[in-house]
Structure 1
């Protein structure tokens, strides 16, 4: 039994972070404290209210602590440790660093674009948006109203006449000078103001420009400004959120059903409702809604741009969170736990969304459980069969071969555990060799204790692929795991699949309405989708490989100069030696070398 007294005796009454560690030296819980001594000591009281906490404490063999300057610093450290260690007893949210944004670039003729990833200085970023659909809809709206360009710089620099976007009145064609730099930059400025929620100011400015154009008898231009004003008023009437003292805000509700929690996040940016997203955290059994809400706010906003107002639906302590988020954002961030008026209405909507998401999750889970039970019965599997892994191979006539592994566990597909394998060093088109390579790489690690052992393995293929799988599993010492080959039926029609068992060689067909067959098809189709998606990406990357990259002496800077000058690789191939030599950084001898390599 672990004796905490020596550790507790020496703990200071200072703020900090503590880590609970089990017998395998795994961190199972990370927490923060205003007073480390009091907080850690509370875990070893005789009457712990939560069975989950009692279970966690029973696994502790070591406690590590880190003292911080204040509770705010402890919150940041706790969040970083949770994301890095993923402790099994902490409430965990999926790390969403890939929210999409709209970007207006800092070029001489700025472009409007979809952005995801690292943000660069000089550009203006607006968001985050809940999903890519919201970004693309907003970009289409901005194109329709402000007619900003969306083309890449290499295309923009080499246009000799307007493109289709100009023809359908989605761009004013700054590439060929059909709009002055001053007027184009004015349109860019108004688009940025609109994205910041300053719609009324934009409409007023457009009204002034319309009146000026009309007074100068420039009636066609006046009509353009009038149409923009009408379009913006329609958007404002449909989407504008009233009763918010800031144009950017998040509304967050939390719901519970059968021990599972759901956080629903409603995003309001630039005074417009952009949509919502629901999050299902892990490890919420026995936890309160307040705990889940605090975990979400810490884990979500430390990695995101934080709006000035966050409306939440549960009573939590906000002082430390507000301090951390305000310092991170460089401005005041307010967390409102007692909304009134329209804010309460929006919170009720978020609460409804959270309840619906939980209901749908429960229904899906029940359906998946029924399917798993039917599959166990149909294939005569043990009652403890939970984890199923499925493999598929995808290629185009041997090109860009990719193997996939998808995982069904805990009653659902586990996307975070999917893996793709790039297959090389085999005869192109040899599916058996590809399957051998993928299975060997996968299960060598499992046999060495580095992965999770499955209860059942599906192989998308007939007797040949299954035979290879049997050999591999014997080689790595996992021959006791049942393998089932899934041979496609006549004309590859769903419902006619034949299952082939590795242990007996028995072949089995299930009725089309069998729920177990439906689960098998779901897992098999997911493996196929995951494999073919990876294959297409790998094939596209290989086919788009620039032959300039293979020429010695051509680095990224010279390659960019060549592609920009000639508008792409085809343009470089069509250029003469003298034309290539005119590019900055390209000597006559290097131009001859480039021409010779490309021809």
Structure 2
């Protein structure tokens, strides 16, 4: 349903409101270009939309938004809960300018216990939790998962190796030797004893440490009564380790799952901090910085976060909130339907829960303060940089290229991107350099710059204001030639070379600026130089990590992968038959041909490939 366009804003609100329904639904506000600028939901569409156009609409943000409305489209739903779900989908699809937007595309990690295995293992897991086994989490970060797994290895000694590694062991691995596994792979522990360790690990992850401690205390006393003091000491150490962790992680008075969510806003910036509590354990916290309109209220930011975050991730039984939010009952109903269990939203807190909320608020305030200070520092660096480079205004976008290789092997170029907010990691790019003489850094730089900016031109995407080239006049010259060929002048994109100083000492860099190669040496305490160093070091790091990955991949490639007619299934069958590549190399042509699916002709090709083309078969 759309309105007539008669007034100065291009939208006849009165005519529109006469026809809009009073039923629940979702509305989309569009500007004159047809871009969705806001998505909202309402229990009564007419009443909600009328609030925008009758009298003072409220905040400055709302007044500005209303002035840009050229059309309003509505979708009627059966219930307000259905409207909430549709609102979430449309916000995700259109990412409107005036909505609070959460940038969180990650799936959260879990600890996985393969209970279906004969000898279950504990492992890091990210992705679907619908498969067989037990899943514990979510954890706020991979680091939190790994630290917990490290503890589990020390205390419960349940295996964490992959199934293929486990099934091919003929002797204990290093984990057994350092006391972090009981070597079930070679039968060093009985199935009954191992099952007891697995059960203790499961109970611990479920928050039932008391049962684990009682069992371990009983076994320690039994070992001591039998004068087996070495075993008793091992149980004592495990008991002490569990108690230390319990003191650090345990949430007083809690035994279930809950999240503590706090929001703070300041200077048109917003921060939401979430503490994850599962089975009475504090798994840690994660901080988010949603994109918000300038004068968004904290309760509005919090509500938008809840709808966008919990409709994408696991929902605990209870969510503690720093602010009361509108439509909490509707949101709780939607989350209950999605999670399959009761969900409570609580904002009036007392006692221990109030203390947890105070902690979450404090974390949110500290994180927001640090971000604002960082942005203020970034603004000062950009002002200094614009002065150094002779720009009229601070650059809005900067890119930097670097080359990495080892004696010409696996050459990789990096391109990192920075803006006023700092590093824009999602826009980083790597280029695998091919078709050049190994070790030719000039040709590598030329290829990377040409591929980057020819693509930006083809896709009609904006160019950066400044491009930094990690290198001296030679590398910068290659970049300038490419930019000239593409018709990109220095007034459009300023090229700057960064030559390292003597002994690569920071602060001794030489800058070569623009087509004139204006040479500059900056004082070590220049904020603009600090920004250049940060960008260059990030490009260097990104290039090296890409090069190492490419080099490892090339070195780990099996010679069998290059044999025509030997596909993945036959390769796997061959390796399984001979127990690995070394076994294949030791086999003769007749042995190879005995493998199902391997003809005598293919066996000869395999033999030649694994022994050198001039070898003769035995």
In structure 1, the residue matched to 2:314 is 305
In structure 2, the residue matched to 1:491 is 503
Which range moves more in the overlay, 536-545 or 249-258? Answer: 536-545
Matched, 1:257 2:269: no
In structure 1, the residue matched to 2:5 is none
Separation in 2, partners of 1:213, 1:561: 48
Contact 1:16 1:74 in 2 (8 A): yes
- Give the secondary structure class of the aligned counterpart of 1:527: helix
Give the C-alpha shift of residue 425 in structure 1: 3.8
Give the C-alpha shift of residue 314 in structure 1: 0.7
Separation in 2, partners of 1:330, 1:545: 46
Which range moves more in the overlay, 340-349 or 423-432? Answer: 423-432
Give the C-alpha shift of residue 114 in structure 1: 1.6
Matched, 1:64 2:76: no
List aligned pairs for 1:285-364, cutoff 5 A. 285-317=294-326, 318-364=328-374
Give the C-alpha shift of residue 101 in structure 1: 1.6
Matched, 1:382 2:430: no
Deviations 1:472-520 (A, max 9, x none): 2233333132211112222222111111122322111111111111111
Give the C-alpha shift of residue 560 in structure 1: 4.5
Separation in 1, partners of 2:70, 2:517: 48
1:26 to 16, 35, 46: 35
Matched, 1:412 2:414: no
Give the C-alpha shift of residue 239 in structure 1: 2.3
Contact 2:270 2:292 in 1 (8 A): no
1:85 to 81, 94, 117: 94
Change (3 A) 1:362 1:208: same
Matched, 1:229 2:239: yes
Contact 1:407 1:414 in 2 (8 A): yes
Matched, 1:505 2:514: no
Give the C-alpha shift of residue 170 in structure 1: 0.7
Separation in 2, partners of 1:489, 1:557: 54
Matched, 1:74 2:86: no
Contact 2:61 2:293 in 1 (8 A): no
Gaps of 5+ in 1: none
Separation in 1, partners of 2:456, 2:34: 20
Give the C-alpha shift of residue 547 in structure 1: 3.4
- Give the secondary structure class of the aligned counterpart of 1:296: helix
Give the C-alpha shift of residue 216 in structure 1: 7.6
Give the C-alpha shift of residue 211 in structure 1: 5.8
1:535 to 547, 553, 568: 547
1:115 to 125, 137, 140: 125
Matched, 1:547 2:555: no
Contact 1:148 1:172 in 2 (8 A): yes
List aligned pairs for 1:453-492, cutoff 5 A. 453-479=463-489, 480=491, 481-492=493-504
Gaps of 5+ in 2: 1-8, 612-618
Change (3 A) 1:392 1:54: farther
| Number of aligned residue pairs | 597
Separation in 2, partners of 1:555, 1:107: 30
In structure 2, the residue matched to 1:274 is 283
The alignment's C-alpha RMSD in Å is 2.8
Change (3 A) 1:48 1:421: farther
Contact 2:389 2:513 in 1 (8 A): no
Contact 1:446 1:452 in 2 (8 A): yes
In structure 2, the residue matched to 1:141 is 151
Give the C-alpha shift of residue 368 in structure 1: 1.5
Separation in 2, partners of 1:437, 1:9: 61
2:431 to 397, 405, 421: 421
Separation in 1, partners of 2:448, 2:223: 68
Change (3 A) 1:561 1:332: farther
Contact 1:96 1:300 in 2 (8 A): no
Give the C-alpha shift of residue 350 in structure 1: 0.9
Separation in 1, partners of 2:570, 2:86: 44
Separation in 1, partners of 2:196, 2:381: 59
Give the C-alpha shift of residue 343 in structure 1: 0.7
Contact 2:31 2:68 in 1 (8 A): yes
Give the C-alpha shift of residue 221 in structure 1: 5.2
Structure with the bigger RCO (C-alpha within 8 Å, sep 6+) is: 1
Matched, 1:171 2:181: yes
- Give the secondary structure class of the aligned counterpart of 1:130: coil
Contact 1:165 1:171 in 2 (8 A): yes
Contact 2:292 2:301 in 1 (8 A): no
Change (3 A) 1:461 1:515: same
Separation in 1, partners of 2:49, 2:365: 35
Separation in 1, partners of 2:121, 2:365: 40
- Give the secondary structure class of the aligned counterpart of 2:274: strand
Separation in 2, partners of 1:152, 1:577: 33
2:11 to 3, 6, 10: 3
Give the C-alpha shift of residue 294 in structure 1: 1.1
Deviations 1:416-468 (A, max 9, x none): 33223333344443333333333333323444563233222212222222222
TM value normalised by structure 1: 0.91
In structure 1, the residue matched to 2:6 is none
TM value normalised by structure 2: 0.89
2:213 to 203, 220, 234: 203
Which range moves more in the overlay, 156-165 or 59-68? Answer: 59-68
Give the C-alpha shift of residue 564 in structure 1: 5.5
Deviations 1:193-221 (A, max 9, x none): 21111112222333455566677887765
Separation in 2, partners of 1:561, 1:214: 52
Contact 2:39 2:90 in 1 (8 A): yes
Separation in 2, partners of 1:104, 1:485: 52
- Give the secondary structure class of the aligned counterpart of 1:114: strand
In structure 1, the residue matched to 2:536 is 524
Separation in 2, partners of 1:369, 1:346: 35
Change (3 A) 1:196 1:381: same
Separation in 2, partners of 1:45, 1:424: 64
Contact 1:56 1:89 in 2 (8 A): yes
Contact 2:11 2:69 in 1 (8 A): no
- Give the secondary structure class of the aligned counterpart of 2:253: coil
